[in-house]
Amino acid sequence: MTTAPAKAGWRFRQPSVIPGFGLTLGFSLAYLTLIILIPLSGLVWRSAALGWADFWAIAIDRRTLNALRISFGTAFLAAVVNVVFGTVVAWVLVRYRFPGRRIADAMVDLPFALPTAVAGIALTTLYAPNGWIGQLLMPLGIKVAYTPLGIVVALVFIGLPFVVRTVQPIMEEIDKEVEEAAATLGASRFQIITRVLFPGLAPAIITGFSLAFARGVGEYGSVIFIAGNLPFKSEIAPLLIVIRLEEYNYEAATAIAAIMLALSFLMLLVVNLVQTWSRKRYG
């Protein structure tokens, strides 16, 4: 970085008259390394130090497997719900004009701004058997609070803005002339939506889905209040990490965290592949 070869084809950076490159990059890298990279590699190092046999024993422990299944399963369901309703919400906010639209639009960001613990106790109070929504669902035999369904409800709350805010800007960019052209060529509204609009939105919807899913898998604060936290039934993986930590079982906590990180990265990879495929297919 200090002495760049004068005429070499490879150079670390393009020349520029703007000063401060060394200072800002140096500070950013140092801060990033100290706060994020060293602590995270500590986790990788600790789980590698466990040894394969110990690591595997923790990984296939029934309680671990169930917690992972519940975390990924509920996050998946919640992300699906958010894709459906989030897309409808985005459509209504972009295309229709009605009083209170601006407020509704601003409200979508509430889950970003509201602390998760507050969301957790509020949702639990709403969906408890004597809560405003819980008592309406009780006669129908639907129990939400203290069941896996409660986890899904909390994750729908947490994930909604990810879908809406990813899909909304793409919808705003859609050229109405394309729809008009399709209509003049005799396409029905239904055909326009499925054949013209949806393909353009698909990559954004997939991104929104993956963001909501990733956030849901790791979510802790809003879930632990409403979940009931029964081992094997409604115990999420982040909670199991906390429980293992409280038992001073650092090995198990580390192993579960490493598995979660690995699965999340694998998932992001798959989503990226799907996205590349959908871009190719729908252009």
Subset of residues 118 to 137 that bind other proteins, contact rule: CB under 8 A: 118-119, 121-123, 125-126, 131-133
Residues 244-263 that bind other proteins (CB under 8 A): 245, 248, 250, 253-254, 257, 260-261
Sole window of 57-65, 137-145, 172-180, 227-235 interacting with other proteins (rule: CB under 8 A): 172-180
Residue 256: name the closest of 267, 243, 274, 269 by CA: 243
Selected from 50, 70, 93, 167, the binder of other proteins by CB under 8 A is: 93
Least distance (Å) from other proteins to the CB of residue 47?
A: 9
Site residues (CB under 8 A) for other proteins, limited to 183-202: 183-184, 188-193
Among 51, 56, 69, 117, binds other proteins (CB under 8 A): 117
CA distance 220 to 117: 9
List the structure tokens of 219.
């979510």
Residue 280: what residue type? K
Nearest to other proteins of 147, 166 (CB atom): 166
Among 50, 58, 67, 108, binds other proteins (CB under 8 A): 108
Query: What SS3 state is found at 191?
Result: helix
- Residues 2-41 close enough to bind other proteins by CB under 8 A: 12-14, 16-21, 23-25, 27-29, 31-32, 35-40
Q: What is the CA radius of gyration of the chain?
A: 24
* Interface map 140-169 toward other proteins (x if CB under 8 A): ----------------xx--xxx--xx--x
Which of 48, 56, 69, 110 is in the footprint of other proteins by CB under 8 A?
Answer: 110
Residues 6+ positions from 24 with CB-CB distance below 8 Å: none
For the chain, how far is it from start to end, CA to CA, in angstroms? 40
For residue 56, state whether it binds other proteins (rule: CB under 8 A): no
CB 241 within 8 A of CB 257: yes
Shortest spacing between CB 165 and other proteins, in angstroms: 6
Task: Provide the H-helix boundaries in 131-249.
Answer: 134-137, 148-173, 176-184, 189-191, 198-218, 221-227, 237-246
Q: List binders of other proteins among 207-226 (CB under 8 A).
A: 214, 217-221, 225
CB of 139 to other proteins, least distance (A): 18
Q: Count other Cβ atoms within 10 Å, centred on residue 118.
A: 12
Instruction: Read off the tokens for 175.
Output: 């050229």
